[in-house]
């Protein structure tokens, strides 16, 4: 011990140029108090003495508050409350006050004073809300949910827990998320949904292990064990309970031991291992009394009763059960406590009213003097009310005008939009008429002239064949021009329009290719009311057209299938053939497939080409 003191003094001398401050000590202790409580206790006490000697009020209060947090985690709840009250009396700092109030609330909850706990939590919540401290606000909200859970008001508890969960997820606070899942799991366990409770507890345990939070690990392990117990998986339950005990002992959290000891005892009693169970019950009862953990005192008494009943000692079993019910009644009789408090308030109110009556005579003369002042104040108040009413009327009138102006502007915008659309439609119709009347007529004239040349003169075979190719190309151009005009004449293309166009094209292809069977199949679940833009409709039609033309030209197919189906609200168009196919790794893709891919990309669709030699070709368009 002397050597330790010497080394400490030597260290302080060596760093004498920059002595450690109370603030740094407090920050250091707060960062380790959950996993290293004894070391944190020494640092807090050192900070407390240092801040007091230097009259640093805020840091002195922070040290007190830190000791309160530490003692709460160690199960010394009354000590924790005393330190929290000291902290609030020393400094009026809002953040520190809210922390102390939350700490008192948690300690009161552990002692079984749920109404008091709720009162302190709500006071802390108001301060955090005012300071816009989202993380701390979420913590207190979660704690309030826990109080409602203990009181059996599960719908209210879930409401607060989910509100806290949302806030913690937005802040990416893993510890907060773990505590919320832990608390929600308790409610599910109480409602009998054990699988869901186990998943929530295990999720919480995984987060605590990740964070290396020993106290959180112990609590979560204990809860996982409890669910396994309810699921009658005894070995798993005992493993997790023992794990919880080991962790609680390692961090000195002796207030957390009674819960695990009681759980182990209960499992052993139900499995007729009575000689082992009594040791755990004794330990649980002793720790619960030492640290005033009200709920575990109650559970220990119930375990004693069940132990003696299993041991055929009915007299002792009855005595302990009576003690258990008495403890439970005193813990849960919140309505009685509340009524007593209300009666006390009523009594104090009546007492003060009597005192006021005794002084009323003395005040009569003064009231006469004050009546004139009151009348003056009433007059001013009336004037203020009139002015407020006038202001409200003017405000409402202006609000109505603004609303009317807004509607007028919206109407003007709508009219302008309609007018613009009409102009665009007229322009498109004009262009389509020009294409049809001028270019279409000229192409038709070219075809007619070529046919006249071909049949009116004796031309060489090659020249005749060349003129036939030009005529065929021109005919194709006219067909494509008509498709373009069809798309331009529409603002939007319905599925039915597209279906008719595709059917016409297939009919023409069928006439041209006598040895090929065409099959068009549209699934019943396809939305027939679907609507496409003119660009989308045209590109879909062109892709189908190109795919079928490729099959006609190159596939040597006997059957060409076109299937349209809808899967997961997505339209799928499949063009397949039973032709000779091709090896995609060796065959260079032509312009046709490249054009199809470009058209698909233009409408944000996916195009998949699937082909193998002698296995046919399948083209899938995903919209």
Contacts of 207 (CB under 8 A, 6+ apart): 174, 175, 177, 178, 181, 216
3-state secondary structure at position 621: strand
Residues paired with residue 560 on neighbouring β-strands, in sequence order = 518, 577
Instruction: Quick: pLDDT tens for 470-503.
Output: 766 676 677 666 666 666 666 688 888 888 888 8
- CA 572/CA 335 separation, integer angstroms: 65
Please provide the DSSP assignment of 466-485 as one string.
HHHHHHHHHHHHHHHHHHHH
Kindly tell me if the per-residue pLDDT of 86 is higher than 80. yes
Q: What is the mean pLDDT of the chain?
A: 81
- CA 154/CA 187 separation, integer angstroms: 7
- Which of 17, 79, 14, 71 is CA-nearest to residue 44? 71
- CA 334/CA 116 separation, integer angstroms: 10
Structure tokens at 92: 């009026």
Band of pLDDT at residue 6, cut at 50, 70 and 90: very low
Alpha helices in 271-333, H assignment, sequence order:
274-290, 294-310, 314-332
More reliable by pLDDT, 592 or 557 = 557
pLDDT value at position 57? Answer: 93
- CA 23/CA 61 separation, integer angstroms: 11
Instruction: Quick: pLDDT tens for 317-329.
Output: 888 888 888 877 6
Kindly tell me if the per-residue pLDDT of 569 is higher than 70. yes
Contact 255, 293 (CB under 8 A): yes
Structure tokens at 268: 């052993």
- CA 225/CA 209 separation, integer angstroms: 16
Query: For the range 336-344, what are the long-range contacts, defined as Cβ-Cβ under 8 Å and sequence gap of 24 or more?
Result: 337/115, 338/115
Q: How many CB atoms lie within 10 A of CB 36?
A: 16
Kindly tell me if the per-residue pLDDT of 351 is higher than 70. no
Instruction: Quick: pLDDT tens for 148-204.
Output: 888 888 888 889 999 998 999 899 999 888 888 888 888 888 888 888 888 989 888
99 sits in which H/E element: helix 94-110
pLDDT value at position 448? Answer: 64
Instruction: Quick: pLDDT tens for 240-256.
Output: 888 888 988 888 888 88
Half-sphere exposure of 33 (CA within 13 A, CB side): 23
- CA 437/CA 419 separation, integer angstroms: 27
Structure tokens at 562: 């076109």
More reliable by pLDDT, 588 or 203 = 203
The full set of domains in the chain, from first to last, is 253-352 (1.25.40), 372-489 (no CATH), 492-622 (3.30.565.10)
Contact 165, 175 (CB under 8 A): no
Kindly tell me if the per-residue pLDDT of 336 is higher than 90. no
pLDDT value at position 347? Answer: 35
Contact 24, 63 (CB under 8 A): no
Residues paired with residue 494 on neighbouring β-strands, in sequence order = 531
User: What percentage of the chain carries pLDDT values higher than 70?
Assistant: 78
Rg (CA), the chain: 43
Structure tokens at 110: 């552990």
Contacts of 90 (CB under 8 A, 6+ apart): 57, 60, 61, 64
Q: What is the pTM of this model?
A: 0.42
DSSP 8-state assignment for residue 255: G
pLDDT value at position 356? Answer: 60
Task: Check the CA dihedral 22-24-27-31 and report its sign.
Answer: negative
Kindly tell me if the per-residue pLDDT of 447 is higher than 80. no
Number of residues assigned to the chain: 623
Angle, CA of 298, 304 and 305, to the nearest 5°: 90
Contacts of 211 (CB under 8 A, 6+ apart): 174, 175, 178
Band of pLDDT at residue 132, cut at 50, 70 and 90: very high
Instruction: Quick: pLDDT tens for 372-431.
Output: 777 778 888 888 898 888 888 888 888 888 888 888 788 777 777 767 666 655 666 566
pLDDT value at position 427? Answer: 63
Phi and psi angles of residue 608, each rounded to the nearest 5 degrees, phi first: -120, 125
Please provide the DSSP assignment of 496-514 as one string.
HHHHHHHHHHHHHHHHH-T
Kindly tell me if the per-residue pLDDT of 575 is higher than 80. yes
Contact 622, 570 (CB under 8 A): yes
pLDDT value at position 369? Answer: 67
Instruction: Quick: pLDDT tens for 255-311.
Output: 888 888 989 988 899 888 888 889 888 998 998 888 878 888 989 999 998 999 888
The CA-atom distances, in angstroms, between 242 and each of 156, 160, 247, 405, 503 are: 33, 32, 9, 73, 74
Structure-token match 């004050």, residue found? 370
Mean pLDDT of 457-482: 68
Structure tokens at 207: 């987060």
The CA-atom distances, in angstroms, between 115 and each of 18, 81, 106, 112, 118 are: 48, 16, 11, 9, 5
């Amino acid at each position: 011990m002397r050597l330790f003191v010497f080394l400490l003094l030597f260290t302080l001398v060596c760093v004498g140029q920059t002595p450690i401050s109370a603030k740094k000590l407090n920050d250091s202790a707060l960062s380790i108090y959950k996993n290293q409580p004894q070391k944190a206790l020494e640092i807090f006490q050192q900070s407390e003495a240092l801040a007091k000697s230097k009259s640093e009020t805020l840091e002195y209060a922070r040290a007190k508050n830190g000791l309160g947090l530490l003692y709460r985690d160690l199960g010394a709840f009354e000590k924790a409350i005393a330190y929290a009250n000291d902290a609030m009396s020393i400094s009026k700092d809002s953040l520190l006050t809210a922390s102390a109030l939350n700490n008192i609330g948690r300690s009161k909850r552990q002692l079984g004073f749920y109404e008091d706990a709720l009162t302190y939590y709500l006071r802390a919540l108001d301060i955090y809300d005012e300071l816009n401290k989202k993380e701390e606000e979420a913590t207190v909200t979660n704690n309030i949910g826990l109080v409602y859970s203990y009181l059996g008001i599960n719908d209210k508890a879930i409401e607060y827990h989910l509100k806290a969960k949302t806030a913690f997820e937005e802040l990416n606070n893993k510890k907060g998320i773990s505590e919320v899942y832990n608390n929600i799991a308790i409610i599910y366990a109480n409602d009998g949904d054990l699988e869901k409770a186990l998943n929530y507890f295990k999720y919480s345990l995984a987060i605590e292990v990740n964070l290396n939070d020993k106290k959180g690990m112990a609590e979560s392990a204990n809860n996982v064990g409890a669910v396994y117990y309810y699921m009658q998986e005894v070995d798993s339950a005992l493993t997790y309970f023992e794990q919880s005990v080991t962790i609680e002992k390692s961090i000195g959290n002796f207030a957390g031991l009674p819960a695990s000891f009681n759980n182990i005892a209960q499992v052993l009693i139900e499995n007729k291992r009575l000689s082992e169970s009594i040791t755990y019950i004794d330990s649980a009862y002793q720790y619960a009394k030492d640290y005033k953990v009200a709920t575990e005192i109650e559970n220990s008494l119930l375990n004693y009763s069940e132990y003696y009943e299993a041991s055929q000692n009915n007299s002792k079993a009855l005595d302990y059960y009576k003690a258990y019910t008495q403890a439970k009644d005193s813990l849960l009789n919140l309505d009685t406590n509340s009524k007593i408090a209300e009666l006390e308030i009523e009594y104090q109110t009546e007492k003060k009213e009597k005192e006021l009556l005794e002084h009323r005579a003395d005040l009569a003369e003064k009231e006469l003097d004050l009546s004139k002042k009151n009348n003056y104040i009433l007059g001013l108040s009336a004037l203020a009310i009139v002015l407020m009413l006038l202001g409200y009327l003017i405000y409402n009138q202006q609000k109505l005008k603004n609303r009317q102006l807004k509607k007028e502007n919206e109407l003007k915008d709508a009219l302008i939009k309609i007018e613009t659309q009409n102009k665009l439609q007229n322009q498109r119709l004009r262009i389509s008429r020009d294409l049809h009347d001028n270019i279409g007529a000229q192409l038709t004239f070219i075809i007619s002239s070529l046919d006249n040349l071909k049949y009116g003169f004796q031309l060489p075979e090659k020249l005749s064949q060349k003129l036939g190719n030009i005529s065929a190309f021109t005919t194709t151009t006219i067909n494509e021009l008509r498709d373009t005009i069809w798309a331009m004449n529409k603002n939007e293309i319905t599925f039915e329009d597209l279906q008719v166009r595709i059917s016409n094209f297939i009919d023409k292809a069928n006439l041209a290719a006598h040895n090929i069977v065409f099959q068009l199949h549209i699934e019943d679940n396809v939305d027939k009311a679907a609507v496409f833009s003119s660009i989308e409709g045209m590109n879909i039609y062109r892709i189908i057209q190109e795919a079928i033309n490729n099959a006609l030209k190159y596939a040597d197919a006997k059957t060409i299938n076109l299937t349209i189906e809808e899967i997961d609200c997505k339209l799928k168009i499949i063009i397949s053939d039973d032709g000779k196919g091709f090896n995609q790794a060796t065959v260079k893709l032509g312009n046709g497939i490249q054009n199809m891919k470009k058209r698909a990309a233009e409408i944000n669709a996916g195009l998949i080409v699937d082909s193998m030699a002698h296995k046919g070709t399948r083209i899938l368009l995903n919209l």
